Structure 1
Amino acid sequence: MMAAPSPLGRLLRAFSWPELRHHGLRHATAVLAVTLGVALAFSVQLINSSALSEFSSAVRSVNGQADLTLRAASGGFAEALYARVAAHPQVALASPVVEVRTRARRPGQNPAQAVSLQILGLDTLVAAPLAPSLMPRQAPQTEVPAKEAGADDGRFTLLQPDAVSLNAAARRTLGVQAGDVIEVQAGLRWQRLRVVGTVSAGGAALGVMDIAGAQQVFAQFGRLQRLDLKLVDGARPADVRTALDLPPGVSADASEDAGERVSNVSRAYRVNLTVLALVALFTGAFLVFSILSLSVAKRQQQFALLGVLGLGARERLQLVLAESALIGVVGSALGLALGTGLAAAALRLLAGDLGGGYFPGIAPTLQWSPGAAALYGGLGIVAALAGGWLPARAAQRLAPAQALKGLGELGGAGRSAWIGPGLLIAGTGMALLPPVGGVPLWAYLAVAAILMGGIACVPAAVGAMLGALPAPRHPAALLAVERARRMRHTATVAIAGVVASLSLSVALTVMVASFRESVTQWLDVVLPADLYARTATSSDHTDTLNLGPALLDGIRALPGVRRAEGVRVVDLRLDPAQPAIALIARPLADPARDLPLVGQAWPSRALQPGEVGAWVSEAMVDLYGARPGTRLLLPLRAGQPPVATRVLGVWRDYARQQGAVVLTESDYQRLTDDRALNDLALWLSPEARTDVLQTRIRALASQQGLDGALLEFAEPRQIREVTLRIFDRSFAVTYWLQAVAIGIGLFGTAASFSAQVLARRKEFGLLGHLGFTRRQILATVAGEGAALTGVGALLGLGLGVAVSVVLVHVVNPQSFHWTMDLMLPGWRLAALCASVVAAGTLTAWLAGRAAAGHDAVMAVKEDW
């Protein structure tokens, strides 16, 4: 038999739950804020984890099940190493691999329609135990035309030099099947290959060839890119590394290290994206705060009556916290469901890349994580409880006797004056701390401390700023300013959301504007020529898609060309735990003019005879300690000792997060004998026409037996426009988040003003009895709103600039290893602050309309 509900329980149901149902729209808005924050953060987590897991799985599939993988620091190594390693007693099996990245198309397609394709050349007789997913499966003989199958009966089709087997991603991307012909790019030539089979490896587009055919097609005679080793039972990889006595420039690492390297370099991007998504949850906590403040203000007399009937202060606290917890639970549950849907849609539409470029060609499937769901669901509940804490404390401190007479006030004094300045000082100190594991954890905490400290300083700032104003002569204006100043502790409730959302919006605006302006200035320095040429989209494929020196010599002789320079870019591995850096060889007549140098340079005259000078990007300083004046060892050629270089200066590079080193063209060619080129920079005569010159260069390439259509030309203006368009598209989400944050902040302001005017009905009634018209009362309320939101806008502007300093000078260098110049877009910030003040004034006026009518005048009788 169930016990009858207590009188107190009946009162709770009579007074609390009908109120919640009556104001369900406001509470639904708070639930929506929590839902949005949890959904964004959880979807980003699911997308990142799914993409990283899929990428790691694809890497393991491509790399096979080797115990060790031998790779050269740059390019490949001589295949003579294969025989020595395979004969080692601790090596059970050694599989040689030719690994190149190229572009492929169907015959006759435009070069712009070619897609990226990774080609692996394997010795299938030894690779099967190590990489079963890479073993080609020959298509049925009926799918291979007899005239193309050769004289054999099909058993050796897979071993023919022009045969390739494609995985599902490659077949889907190219739109081909077994029996079709594709063309792959090698330099400025197309090479035809026959699709004769399939491979089961997942991941990006992949093709597998016989190793001899791959060496022939891509001119890799006598070269290998890697050796996959299976060790004998009981052999320890560390001992085998030492016993192999590998030549300089060749390293041995585990196959799964490739996935870890991508995880390391993408960690900062993923964490920053998650923190950005949590901004909605952070501002949502302030909306919960405003909604529950309004709810508590509207129910002051109900809480007072419950207090008289036996509901203690602790129970009132628990009741409001239970409401906030309910908001958090419902919002988190809906957010997890919405986040799952957003992640599934993003993985299907964006392929898990999210604009960062860390997982190219990966089409991951959604991998739902119960642990992540529990974490972000818990964060939603914590955010709701944090937002409901101050309203719950206000309900706890309520004096029942005064509240029954309508004399209660929302908020109150008594907060420690040192909390705000203390948080600001702590935030400044945390911003000076180094990153934790490559993630600017302390910087994020510094931003949170600065924001919370600034919000805690709102009462003091309101008192100081409004106290400094001259006393207005108009009675309504004087009443508005004096009341806003004397009741400044209620300002924390009214404008906390505005301060938080505006400061975040200002910080994001300043950070994006600073980044964009820095990128623009950087482009002006790194694009000095009149015309640039390269193999089509070859910037990420430096091994096989390059130009020969003969073409450059011919271009220099063309009419209209004043000067022509070539640039060679190769990948160089300095640390097995880090991604490869970019080694750039180019003419450097004046490094101070040709490179966007930062900081103090090392004088080149200090170089010792025969010593090589190098200029490094900012990432090299953070990742490898390559400061000006230090020595940097570069393993330029496998089998030869690393070249000792002296760092002469540091330059700004927004294109390569992993780091880059620049050598003069003469030093690089002398040390490597590599004369291939990736990009051409052309300075033209004033009378030269770029379209005519492009036609001549393509004709020159055709005369040399090359395909001139594979050359891609661009003027600096075009490169700049494309770069900035990509930049703006990448940061479009920040503008949306700014709008969401401002909207949440203004809604919170409206709710807070509504709460205050409801508690002031008797005050408005008294003003009416004293002769104030309804219009004057509304003007007073609007003046209070203008005063408070004006102070909030100034405080939000100051906090936003402070946060932007942390983002620009701490978060970005620690996350991505590049610096930028701080730029304050004055007119945009002024417009942002003015719009917030105008909207705050309007919301205060609208909130006062309901409390300034006949009911307010009649409310004075409640004290009679």
Structure 2
Amino acid sequence: MLPALLRSFSWAALRHHPWRSAAAVAAVMLGVALGFAVHVINASALNEFAQAVRSVNGQPDLELRAAQGTLPEALYGLVATQPQVQLASPWLEQPVRATADPARAPVALRVVGADALVLPAMAPALAPRGFDGADRLAMLAPATVFLNPAAQQALGMGTIDARTPALQLQTGLSTHSVRVAGTVAAGGPPLAVMDIGAAQDLFGRAGQLTRIDLRLMPGTAAASVQQALAALPGWPAGVQFAAPQDEVQRVDSLSRAYRVNLTVLALVALFTGAFLVYSVLALSVAQRAPQFALLAVLGATPRERLALVLLESCALGLIGSVAGIALGAALAALALTMLGGDLGGGYFTGVQPALHFSTPAALVYGLLGVAAALVGGWWPARHAQQLAPAQTLKGLGAHGGRGAQAWVGLFLIAAGAFLALLPPVFGIPLAAYGAVALLLIGGIALLPWLVQVLLTRLRPLAVGHTLALLALERARRMRASAAVAVGGVVAALSLAVALTVMVGSFRGSVSQWLDSVLPAPLYLRATAVSANGDDGAVFAPAFADAVARLPAVARVQALRTSRLQLAPDRAPVALLAQPLGADPGQVLPLLGAALPVPAGRVGVYVSEAVVDLYGARPGADWPQLSKVFQAPAQAGQAPEATFFIAGVWRDYIRQHGAIALDAQDFARLTGDARASNLALWPAPGSTTDALRLQVLAQARQSLGEAAAESLEFVAADAIRARSLAIFDRSFAITYWLQAVAVGIGLFGVAASFSAQVLARRKEFGLLAHLGLTRRQILTVVAGEGAAWTAVGAVAGTLLGLAVAVVLVHVVNPQSFHWTMDMAVPWPRLLALAIAVVAVGTLTAWLAGRAAATNDAVMAVKEDW
């Protein structure tokens, strides 16, 4: 009979206090939902991306790519005849902007040139399927393409047949007309397939290949083939061997830091939920202490009382976890529909994945929610286990308690500071995340001590004011109860403060960085640029010189952007060539002064990501860059250069790294002086509109009417606004998480105060007998709430600033490989703290109304 009594006692406690139980359940649900949603979104996007890569690239055993630029076509004949190679497939890729209807906006399209004879064996998803009545050799015809379903949908073409209109493909300053002859089955972003020879002729890239895929003889090891090919006479420098899965791994590694940070934020919300479970059950155990004592008298053992409270916490965690899994799946489905699975970070642009529900992941996150609830319920369960039945039944078991000793909190904070100094593990700042957890736990452990210190110092101000003194004294003496009541809001507020400081610091640093890298008011570029090969280098030096001589132009600066594959398993780094002048610090946001470049060296300036990812240190030569800089197609045009790292600069756009060098050095080493963009400064007294008109007129004269129509002017202000808008979109989830976390923390405060005032009916009755009115009693309760939430606001703000230091100076550099200047928005933090105190005071006042309405005589009679 006793076990049944214990179970009914536990469920009755949950049913009779639904609001405070709902606070704990909601917090657990939020943490589980956010963590599971982030996992599902990323898993779905990465799975879709991997399938798209497999359908487009096929399943080769080995890929050959150029570290810079393209591969020479002669290399294909060399590798195809090797005895270890069963099949070789040449590829040429060309990003374009395509239109089928002039009334519709152009669509970003990836054109893939392939050998039609090897496609069925190497990449069957790209095998062309002509429409009814089409020529069987249409794949070999010039200026003929086959579209995948995503391209048909994006272009608004519907069913493809002989009546399908021609496509206009724009690349660089050129426009080409092609006909659509059929479809391909490959999924993923918009794609068009055509014969590789026809593609080379159409885009003027004769003799160039993007990559070569190899299918090896059965039993042949890829490593042995790499060694054999690299040892061939005349093997060009700069050829890299890549595994088929490297592209998926590159995207996975790029998005990993972003999704791990989002997951950690979700786990912080789960930590807040664990503390709210602790708060709810601690107050519940304190309120039901006589009942637990009675159960002990009836025969309940200490272990059974411990299990009873743990059962309650497990029930809260289980309900919150189940609801969190359902909510997380719904959030993931909504995000995949609205955002396309890029998590706000832009890592899976163009991918429209379907929901990929993972049962093992759901179980893991569900168990995390239950574990968090059990951790939160452990200490209240221990209190129920250790209470003395006789003393508790006599009313001697409830007291304020001293709470945890101050040294425990100080030790945890010191341990957190130590962890913040440790390096990342596998590129993830695990120690820094542990530091954040220890700081939060240590700060909350110090709450009783902080209540004692702060309220003792405020006591002289309350002398002479009876109600204020009464509220202050009780708040000070019940400091352990204060830690329980406001611990959840301290955790939530510290998270909100930390994120506010981190996001504000990041946004301010990005704004300053944009001012530095966008010195010109206007920029000129082609609307369709290539993402590989010549990387949109469309402006010849003669055109830049002609623009510089225009009356409305005061100054022109040519900028060149290309890509460099330093390692096959990592994303390419950006190679920026621009005039650096005598003082590169005036052009680049350098960290420190530029180092003098030794004679016979070429000075380069690397971003912080390059330092972390490739070990490039300022003041040293960089042999790795010297080895891969020159493209195989350009071999022999210039001697190999010895690069010297002359400085490190901040770059908030290219997480994979960027290298800057002087434009003259780039032109001398590559023999290519073309530019990707032109930075334009208007002449004194001239407007940007006049500058646009004159540059367009010069473009029509120098480049032709069609090429001039493909040019685009972009104002620096527009680039700045768009960059900050992307930044705000990426961090939108953090703003939402702040609001929800603080809301749940205040909900926990409401539940805590409600439980406490209901347990203090005798005290309120005594105060009423002593002559205090209902309004005065509510004033005392509100004063206690103000005192406790004020201490919580101070503690939460200080903890938040400490956590912000870790986020700004440790987590961000270790996760994203860039640093920032910390900026504290004091007005926003002050407003946040005042709002928390105001809402906490109001919550205490509202919670006290119910207890203060009880009849005073009946409340006091409970002591007779």
TM-score bin (small chain):
over 0.9
8 Å Cα contact 1:100-1:544 kept in structure 2: no
Query: For 1:532, what is the secondary structure of its paired residue?
Result: strand
After alignment, is 28-37 or 589-598 more displaced?
28-37
Task: Give the Cα separation in 1 of the matches to 2:441 and 2:386.
Answer: 23
Residue 619 (str. 1) matches residue 604 (str. 2): no
8 Å Cα contact 1:218-1:544 kept in structure 2: no
2:553 to 561, 567, 576: 561
Equivalent residue for 1:315? 304
Structure 1, residues 278-299: CA drift from partner, whole Å, max 9, x if none? 3332222233223333433443
Residue 190 (str. 1) matches residue 184 (str. 2): no
| Change over 3 Å in CA distance of 1:71–1:713 after alignment to 2 | same
Query: 1:410: how far off?
Result: 6.9
Query: For 1:102, what is the secondary structure of its paired residue?
Result: strand
Query: 1:537: how far off?
Result: 6.4
Equivalent residue for 2:440? 451
Equivalent residue for 1:28? 22
Equivalent residue for 1:105? 99
| Change over 3 Å in CA distance of 1:390–1:806 after alignment to 2 | same
> 4+ residue stretches of structure 1 with deviation over 6 A?
none
Structure 1, residues 683-705: CA drift from partner, whole Å, max 9, x if none? 11122222232233223323322
Equivalent residue for 1:425? 414
Task: Give the Cα separation in 1 of the matches to 2:198 and 2:495.
Answer: 57
After alignment, is 767-776 or 364-373 more displaced?
767-776
8 Å Cα contact 2:23-2:751 kept in structure 1: no
Task: Give the Cα separation in 1 of the matches to 2:477 and 2:301.
Answer: 30
Residue 162 (str. 1) matches residue 143 (str. 2): yes
Equivalent residue for 1:151? none
Residue 224 (str. 1) matches residue 209 (str. 2): yes
Task: Give the Cα separation in 2 of the matches to 1:368 and 1:826.
Answer: 43
Query: 1:258: how far off?
Result: 1.0
Task: Give the Cα separation in 2 of the matches to 1:457 and 1:530.
Answer: 53
**How do 1:715-864 residues align onto structure 2 when only pairs under 5 Å count?**
715-864=715-864
Residue 526 (str. 1) matches residue 507 (str. 2): no
Query: For 1:863, what is the secondary structure of its paired residue?
Result: coil
Equivalent residue for 2:493? 502
| Change over 3 Å in CA distance of 1:833–1:285 after alignment to 2 | same
Task: Give the Cα separation in 1 of the matches to 2:435 and 2:170.
Answer: 50
Task: Give the Cα separation in 2 of the matches to 1:37 and 1:713.
Answer: 45
Residue 67 (str. 1) matches residue 67 (str. 2): no
Query: 1:53: how far off?
Result: 1.4
8 Å Cα contact 1:407-1:759 kept in structure 2: no
| Change over 3 Å in CA distance of 1:638–1:646 after alignment to 2 | same
Query: For 1:469, what is the secondary structure of its paired residue?
Result: helix
Q: Which one-letter code corresponds to 2:844 in the other structure?
A: A
Equivalent residue for 2:185? 200
Task: Give the Cα separation in 1 of the matches to 2:400 and 2:109.
Answer: 64
| Change over 3 Å in CA distance of 1:338–1:14 after alignment to 2 | closer
Query: 1:33: how far off?
Result: 2.5
| Change over 3 Å in CA distance of 1:735–1:185 after alignment to 2 | same
8 Å Cα contact 1:185-1:545 kept in structure 2: no
After alignment, is 544-553 or 114-123 more displaced?
544-553
Task: Give the Cα separation in 2 of the matches to 1:643 and 1:360.
Answer: 36
Equivalent residue for 1:148? none
Query: 1:857: how far off?
Result: 4.3
Query: 1:399: how far off?
Result: 3.5
8 Å Cα contact 2:7-2:308 kept in structure 1: no
Residue 256 (str. 1) matches residue 245 (str. 2): yes
Query: For 1:227, what is the secondary structure of its paired residue?
Result: strand
After alignment, is 18-27 or 305-314 more displaced?
18-27
Structure 1, residues 395-427: CA drift from partner, whole Å, max 9, x if none? 333343444455543773363443211110111
Query: 1:158: how far off?
Result: 1.4
Query: 1:25: how far off?
Result: 4.0
Task: Give the Cα separation in 2 of the matches to 1:554 and 1:379.
Answer: 65
8 Å Cα contact 1:785-1:844 kept in structure 2: yes
8 Å Cα contact 1:697-1:708 kept in structure 2: no
Task: Give the Cα separation in 1 of the matches to 2:26 and 2:202.
Answer: 58
| Change over 3 Å in CA distance of 1:411–1:397 after alignment to 2 | farther
Unmatched segments (≥5 aa) in structure 2: none
TM-score, scaled relative to structure 2: 0.94
2:690 to 692, 706, 717: 692
Query: For 1:468, what is the secondary structure of its paired residue?
Result: helix
1:234 to 207, 212, 219: 219
Q: Which one-letter code corresponds to 2:538 in the other structure?
A: L
Q: Which one-letter code corresponds to 1:566 in the other structure?
A: A
Task: Give the Cα separation in 2 of the matches to 1:330 and 1:748.
Answer: 17
After alignment, is 384-393 or 34-43 more displaced?
384-393
Query: 1:532: how far off?
Result: 0.9
Task: Give the Cα separation in 2 of the matches to 1:382 and 1:855.
Answer: 42
**How do 1:68-217 residues align onto structure 2 when only pairs under 5 Å count?**
68-109=62-103, 113-141=105-133, 154-176=135-157, 177-178=160-161, 179-217=164-202
**How do 1:657-676 residues align onto structure 2 when only pairs under 5 Å count?**
657-676=655-674
Percent identical? 58
Q: Which one-letter code corresponds to 2:739 in the other structure?
A: A
Residue 594 (str. 1) matches residue 587 (str. 2): yes
Equivalent residue for 2:46? 52
1:681 to 671, 679, 682: 679
Task: Give the Cα separation in 1 of the matches to 2:76 and 2:483.
Answer: 72
**How do 1:537-616 residues align onto structure 2 when only pairs under 5 Å count?**
538=529, 543=534, 545-549=536-540, 550-589=542-581, 590-604=583-597, 607-608=598-599, 610-616=600-606
Task: Give the Cα separation in 2 of the matches to 1:539 and 1:216.
Answer: 16
| Change over 3 Å in CA distance of 1:557–1:107 after alignment to 2 | farther
| Change over 3 Å in CA distance of 1:478–1:642 after alignment to 2 | farther
Task: Give the Cα separation in 2 of the matches to 1:19 and 1:355.
Answer: 42
8 Å Cα contact 1:36-1:281 kept in structure 2: yes
Report the number of matched residues.
842
8 Å Cα contact 2:94-2:530 kept in structure 1: no
8 Å Cα contact 1:293-1:410 kept in structure 2: no
Equivalent residue for 1:511? 502
8 Å Cα contact 1:580-1:658 kept in structure 2: yes
Residue 469 (str. 1) matches residue 469 (str. 2): no
After alignment, is 392-401 or 814-823 more displaced?
392-401
Query: 1:862: how far off?
Result: 2.2
Query: 1:68: how far off?
Result: 0.8
| Change over 3 Å in CA distance of 1:525–1:542 after alignment to 2 | farther
Q: Which one-letter code corresponds to 2:543 in the other structure?
A: L
8 Å Cα contact 2:591-2:648 kept in structure 1: yes
After alignment, is 774-783 or 582-591 more displaced?
774-783
8 Å Cα contact 2:560-2:675 kept in structure 1: yes
Structure 1, residues 353-382: CA drift from partner, whole Å, max 9, x if none? 122111121111222212111110001101
Task: Give the Cα separation in 1 of the matches to 2:249 and 2:732.
Answer: 29
Task: Give the Cα separation in 2 of the matches to 1:239 and 1:411.
Answer: 74
1:41 to 35, 40, 43: 35
Query: For 2:448, what is the secondary structure of its paired residue?
Result: helix
8 Å Cα contact 1:15-1:302 kept in structure 2: no
Task: Give the Cα separation in 1 of the matches to 2:374 and 2:562.
Answer: 54
**How do 1:380-459 residues align onto structure 2 when only pairs under 5 Å count?**
380-406=369-395, 408-409=397-398, 412-413=401-402, 415-459=404-448
Structure 1, residues 130-174: CA drift from partner, whole Å, max 9, x if none? 111111111212xx6xxxxxxxxx122211120011111111111
Structure 1, residues 565-595: CA drift from partner, whole Å, max 9, x if none? 1111111000112110000011112311111
Task: Give the Cα separation in 2 of the matches to 1:643 and 1:201.
Answer: 42
After alignment, is 417-426 or 573-582 more displaced?
417-426
Unmatched segments (≥5 aa) in structure 1: 1-5, 145-153
Q: Which one-letter code corresponds to 1:624 in the other structure?
A: Y
Structure 1, residues 65-115: CA drift from partner, whole Å, max 9, x if none? 2111100001102111111111112112111111222221225246xx222
Task: Give the Cα separation in 1 of the matches to 2:394 and 2:454.
Answer: 33
